[in-house]
Structure 1
Amino acid sequence: MDLELLADRFGDKWTLLIGGAVIGALFGAFAQQSRFCLRAAAIEFSRGTVGGKMAVWLLVFSTAIAGTLALSAMDLFSATETRQLASPQSLSGAAIGGLLFGTGMILARGCSSRLLVLSATGNLRALLSGLVFAVVAQASLHGFLSPLRDALAAPLTTLSTGSNDLLVLSGVSEPAAFALVLAGLGASLWLAFWRGIGVWKTLAAVAVGACVPLAWWFTTSMTTIAFEPVTIESLSFTGPSADTLMLFLSQPGSMIDFDVGLVPGVFLGAFLAALVTGELELQGFEGGGSMRRYLAGAALMGFGGMLAGGCAVGAGVTGASIFALTAWVTLFSIWIAASATDWLVDRRLPARRSRSAAADQPLPAHVRPTE
């Protein structure tokens, strides 16, 4: 059944929701199987290793960009019609929001999409953290945190650069960019083979990346058949998480669109994948300190993601696939903050506490100094 027949039968809004749910389910299932996670890749890289986790992230990243450029080359999608390139964006928000998101990602032990996938497998830490993330994201969009978000986003925008299109600003043509991305995809495949992540995980990572151009194609196609305006968009989890939260607090049927179908779709896809492979397992917090860490990280990601205009997927993959300058700034800031937070919180401070604990231990009798 093609999209036009589907829209005639269910209506434009429900077709968008169904499309979001289907694409989300594919993303969730393959993300669960590939273990796609920007946090894991950032930690691996910051600790001086380019291993399997980095290979998975690079496969997703390069596949998403290559697929999006291929759509553009076939005139099936135009990046200039997206929100990221059609209107001014905040560079200061991208930088500050990326730093906050990267810090929160390490504290919560996963980015927003990873928390959603983990919660579907029975991880109660991720489920509660994801709820906090959605609440803070909504508060940053329309609630008491929105004035602070506006204040941080205002100082520097893409009006100062004249464009948010990195290809335009750099003078690189789409064919040249496509060639570079294909080379990057080839290098990612080689890295995956070298690190021995396996054929299935490699294919799953490629499938995760392919969900980004698939969503671009779907929402673009809907603009040609829908009676009401349709936003051309792809995968992101900050705004959609906030929208999904409000869906349960609003009148039934008041919020029906692509974003609202995406988040439940990811959850369902990850759950089914974990169920089939026997990976469902209930997991909880390991004390108050752990809980405080997770919830603080989730709150930082909620505000940071909304300030930056995207999360590790929304900016770091989807926005990067259309070469939005702000998305690349956000991605770079996430990597910097994640590496610094991992070094400080998970390496330096534990090492210092271990040395202090060792110093407090009494010396054995045979080595104690005599008076």
Structure 2
Amino acid sequence: MDIVPLVDRIGEHPTSALFGLLTGIIFGVAAQRSAFCLRAATVEFARGRMGARVSVWLLTFSTAAVWVQGAQLLGLMDSSEARIMAVPGTWSGAIIGGLLFGVGMVLARGCSGRLLVLAATGNLRSVVSGLIFAVVAQMSLHGWMAPLRDWLARLWVTEGGRNVNLLETLNLPAQSGLVFGLAVAGFALYISLRNRIGARTLIFASGVGFAVAVGWVLTYSLSLVSFEPVTVTSATFTGPSANTLMFFLDRQAVLEFDVGLVPGVFIGAFLSAALVGELKFQGFDGESNMRRSMFGAVLMGFGGMLAGGCAIGNGVTGTSIFTGTSWVALFCMWIGAMLTDFIVDQPALRRATANA
């Protein structure tokens, strides 16, 4: 793929933002149509079911690995150049941040990526929670909460100045990542068939994973021809939400992949919802739910920044290149979310059923 004419025509930074916009639009359309959501999958699993939500999440998770590992085998990208892999990882951040993010996404009724998709369809609860998430993420990156985040992250870091590539650490062949993705995808399809999930939903679920691969390939391609250092990255929403917020607040901010990604997701989800008639204004269902969602957004903003990524950035994008801390963060997100459902939501549901 020759992107040199495009870079020469519009410049490196606008090209990076354009690639983010393209990745975001694909992600937004696919996530809106498939209702992809880690929070929904964890809650469904916590309640003893392997239904549609788990199926969609597993298919997205696995197809991201298939697309990305396939692209790497074809020489279209090199995961060793990825930002998340090229810097030291934090085990303590992945554990603590992952747990906090998992708790937060259940309280907010959606992870950061899902909130952005819902906001594009007219969900005002998601708009408020998403803005709080972005502000807290920025505070955790450069603001008042940064010292606490930095201290927690430094408690336990990876050795050697880089993150851990699980495939290399386990001395597995290069094709093992692709094989793993195909195996999980097969299991996801089995569950999907058992739950009679339509082919359209499955296609869009795999489309979310495809968007992740698109981001990796495009940013890697740009890094090969750029005169300035280019961050090799893909879909994630903690850092990009903070960066996009600052782009509109700071005249000195520059265009980059992150700044294109977030608007792209919003545009894609909006157009997708508009085409199928799913645009609808929705608000909070009372003061208590508003407090709950706002507190959950705070936990996600800090937890996601501490963990080095959100449910997408770690749970799909990072795991697709087998980053060690991403797998730990994803596991802790599941644990935090399931515990919150056990402790908060399931008792409330039982009380409501008993009083009905």
Normalising by the residue count of structure 1, what TM-score does the alignment of the two structures yield?
A: 0.92
What SS does the aligned partner of 1:231 have? coil
| Distance of 1:340 and 1:278 partners within structure 2 | 35
AA matched with 1:151: W
The answer on whether the counterparts of 2:87 and 2:161 sit within 8 Å (CA) in structure 1 is no
Instruction: Tell me by how many angstroms 1:172 deviates.
Output: 2.1
The answer on whether the counterparts of 2:158 and 2:164 sit within 8 Å (CA) in structure 1 is yes
Alignment correspondent of 2:265: 266
AA matched with 1:5: P
1:5-84 aligned at under 5 Å gives the runs 5-84=5-84
User: Which of 74-83 and 126-135 deviates more?
Assistant: 74-83
AA matched with 1:48: G
Gaps of 5+ in 1: 359-371
1:1-371 aligned at under 5 Å gives the runs 3-159=3-159, 164-251=164-251, 254-351=253-350
The answer on whether the counterparts of 2:112 and 2:237 sit within 8 Å (CA) in structure 1 is yes
- Identity percentage of aligned residues: 51
Deviations 1:313-343 (A, max 9, x none): 0000000011111000000000001000011
What SS does the aligned partner of 1:303 have? helix
Instruction: Tell me by how many angstroms 1:293 deviates.
Output: 0.4
Deviations 1:2-61 (A, max 9, x none): 522221211111011111111101100110000000001111111111111111101100
Instruction: Tell me by how many angstroms 1:352 deviates.
Output: 5.4
AA matched with 1:69: Q
| Distance of 2:50 and 2:281 partners within structure 1 | 31
AA matched with 1:146: A
AA matched with 2:342: W
Instruction: Tell me by how many angstroms 1:218 deviates.
Output: 0.2
Deviations 1:153-189 (A, max 9, x none): 1111111898511112222222233222212112212
Alignment correspondent of 1:367: none
Q: Determine which structure has more spread, i.e. the larger CA radius of gyration.
A: 1
What SS does the aligned partner of 2:159 have? coil
Q: Do the aligned partners of residues 80 and 32 (structure 1) sit closer, same or farther apart at CA in structure 2, a change above 3 Å counting?
A: same
| Distance of 2:161 and 2:275 partners within structure 1 | 49
Q: Do the aligned partners of residues 201 and 169 (structure 1) sit closer, same or farther apart at CA in structure 2, a change above 3 Å counting?
A: same
Q: Do the aligned partners of residues 249 and 282 (structure 1) sit closer, same or farther apart at CA in structure 2, a change above 3 Å counting?
A: same
Instruction: Tell me by how many angstroms 1:225 deviates.
Output: 1.8
The answer on whether the counterparts of 2:91 and 2:325 sit within 8 Å (CA) in structure 1 is yes
Q: Across the two proteins, how many residue pairs are aligned to each other?
A: 356
The answer on whether the counterparts of 1:34 and 1:201 sit within 8 Å (CA) in structure 2 is yes
What SS does the aligned partner of 1:278 have? coil
Instruction: Tell me by how many angstroms 1:76 deviates.
Output: 1.5
Gaps of 5+ in 2: none
The answer on whether the counterparts of 1:163 and 1:169 sit within 8 Å (CA) in structure 2 is no
| Distance of 2:247 and 2:84 partners within structure 1 | 25
Q: Do the aligned partners of residues 220 and 159 (structure 1) sit closer, same or farther apart at CA in structure 2, a change above 3 Å counting?
A: same
| Distance of 2:161 and 2:249 partners within structure 1 | 40
Q: Do the aligned partners of residues 32 and 162 (structure 1) sit closer, same or farther apart at CA in structure 2, a change above 3 Å counting?
A: closer
Instruction: Tell me by how many angstroms 1:143 deviates.
Output: 0.1
Runs of 4+ in 1 over 6 A off after TM superposition: none
Normalising by the residue count of structure 2, what TM-score does the alignment of the two structures yield?
A: 0.96
The answer on whether the counterparts of 2:65 and 2:321 sit within 8 Å (CA) in structure 1 is yes
Q: How big is the alpha-carbon RMSD for the aligned residues of Structure 1 and Structure 2?
A: 1.8
